[in-house]
Amino acid sequence: MRSLLQLALASAWNRRLSLGLTLFAVLMASTLLLSVERVRQAARDGFAQSVSATDLVVGARTSPVQLVLYSIFHLGEATNTVSWQSYQSIAANPAVAWSVPLALGDSHRGYAVLGTTADYFTHYRYADKRPLQFAEGRPFAGLFDTVLGAEVAGRLGYRPGQQITLSHGDGGLAGLEHEDKPFTVVGILAPTGTPVDRTVHVSLPALEAIHLDWVGGAPIPGMSIAPEVVGKFDLAPKTITAFLIGLHQRAEVFRIQRKINEFADEPLLAVLPGVALDQLWQTVGVVEQALQAVSWLVLAVGLAGLMAVMLAGLNERRREMAILRSVGAGPRHILFLLVVESFLVSLFGALAGLALVSLLAVTLAGRLAAFGLAVLPLAPGAGEMQLLAAVLVCGLLVSLLPAWRAYRLSLADGLIPRL
């Protein structure tokens, strides 16, 4: 057995150019397959961990997926708002340990502006109940203070002390800039790999202040209220977009959810974020399946190339096979020789692909963080090990046809020259 393995290695080295190209094809196919699996798993984990330790997300009645999309991911728009009185009524429930209001609608250079309270920085959790940390500065305290997510500050080059202005809506139309009421950056959050990184945080009274001289989504002609005098007005919010709830006891979640869904004053919807995130992931799961299908097709092409090289090489190796037969090797030894050769190419290609994927995970960690993949694992997971096993099994299977043909070659077939 050992001598046959040495013979297989020597034979492979003798044909190193053609097998090297085939090994490269298997390597690239394995890299793509493992990369898709690793990114898919990391994206799913990061997606599901965008919000943690929050029992309920509450907003105007709509679909659970849409509620999570605009309240957590800041994508799309709310179908309606929640009155401040309703929020206060629900937040006052003895079963509620904490609540964080969320108000959306404005933007800054393409990034969402979130109006909230200082409790947001205390109670918001992501990943495995990890709290928000400040890379620089502090939470907002003054009326026109703002705290930036890591991506906002990094891409736009902001530092504490700089001033920014907000835009009404998504900022796509000219003339909707709140340029008369600038905000001062007082804090920058540490990277989280979640939508928090792409958010500008301000206080709820600040959102009311910048809209005092606005009506119907547009500035009132000829009217301008200076920032110095906005404190004389009532800046209590009238409505919010949604709010987060944490309960004293997790066992109360379904009772409180039912009570909110049956709220008499206005139609509201309370969803468990984990359940809604699972539904949302299933909605975009077709992309995941498409990527996996492409990866398997690339792997199939690489393995087909391996089979083609082995089949094409059989005619050139007829004399080699005949000499092996003449010195005592049987048909089974020839079959074993080709199977081992294919297995080694598949094994080295798969292992090299795994090493390349881990190297890319280290090299591109900073860039991947911008896509919510800050926790991209460096070690292979259970899914990747199964894929590696599948690559090796497929490598063995593609060797069966060339091995069977070599098995059937007679001793005389390799010794008699063909004219």
pLDDT tens, residue by residue, 149-158: 999 999 999 9
pLDDT tens, residue by residue, 252-267: 999 999 999 999 999 9
pLDDT tens, residue by residue, 12-32: 676 677 777 778 878 888 888
Label residue 320 by pLDDT band (50, 70, 90). Answer: low
More confident residue, 317 or 245: 245
Mean of pLDDT values over 343-357: 86
pLDDT tens, residue by residue, 394-411: 888 887 877 777 666 544
pLDDT reported for residue 298: 76
Residue 261 half-sphere exposure, CB side, CA atoms within 13 Å? 14
Instruction: Indicate if 102 and 217 belong to the same structural domain.
Output: yes
The span from the CA of 350 to the CA of 154, in Å, is 37
Instruction: Indicate if 291 and 179 belong to the same structural domain.
Output: no
The per-residue b/e assignment along 74-113, b for 16 or more CB within 10 angstroms, e otherwise, is beeebeebbbbebbeebeeeeebeebbbbbbbbbbeebbb
Instruction: Indicate if 267 and 134 belong to the same structural domain.
Output: yes
Instruction: Indicate if 176 and 294 belong to the same structural domain.
Output: no
With a cut of 90, say whether residue 370 has pLDDT above it. Answer: no
pLDDT reported for residue 410: 47
**Domain enclosing residue 350, as ranges:** 2-47+285-415
Containing 41, the helix (H) or strand (E) segment is: helix 16-48
Residue written as token pair 């943690």: 52
Query: What is the average pLDDT value for the chain, to the nearest integer?
Result: 83
The span from the CA of 103 to the CA of 309, in Å, is 62
End residue of a domain, out of 283, 300, 326: 283
Instruction: Indicate if 207 and 79 belong to the same structural domain.
Output: yes
130 bridge partner residues: 126
Instruction: Indicate if 31 and 56 belong to the same structural domain.
Output: no
Instruction: Indicate if 62 and 36 belong to the same structural domain.
Output: no
Instruction: Indicate if 217 and 316 belong to the same structural domain.
Output: no
- 331-363 and 382-398 are packed helices; what angle lies between their axes, rounded to 10 degrees? 150
End residue of a domain, out of 231, 251, 283: 283
Instruction: Indicate if 29 and 73 belong to the same structural domain.
Output: no
Mean of pLDDT values over 350-374: 72
End residue of a domain, out of 283, 312, 338: 283
The span from the CA of 49 to the CA of 8, in Å, is 49
With a cut of 80, say whether residue 283 has pLDDT above it. Answer: no
The pTM of the full predicted model, rounded to 2 decimals, is: 0.73
Mean of pLDDT values over 54-66: 94
Instruction: Indicate if 351 and 319 belong to the same structural domain.
Output: yes
Instruction: Indicate if 150 and 239 belong to the same structural domain.
Output: yes
Instruction: Indicate if 43 and 132 belong to the same structural domain.
Output: no
DSSP E strands, 149-241:
163-164, 167-168, 183-189, 199-203, 214-215, 218-219, 239-240
Mean of pLDDT values over 174-184: 85
Mean of pLDDT values over 318-325: 66
CB 97 within 8 A of CB 182: no
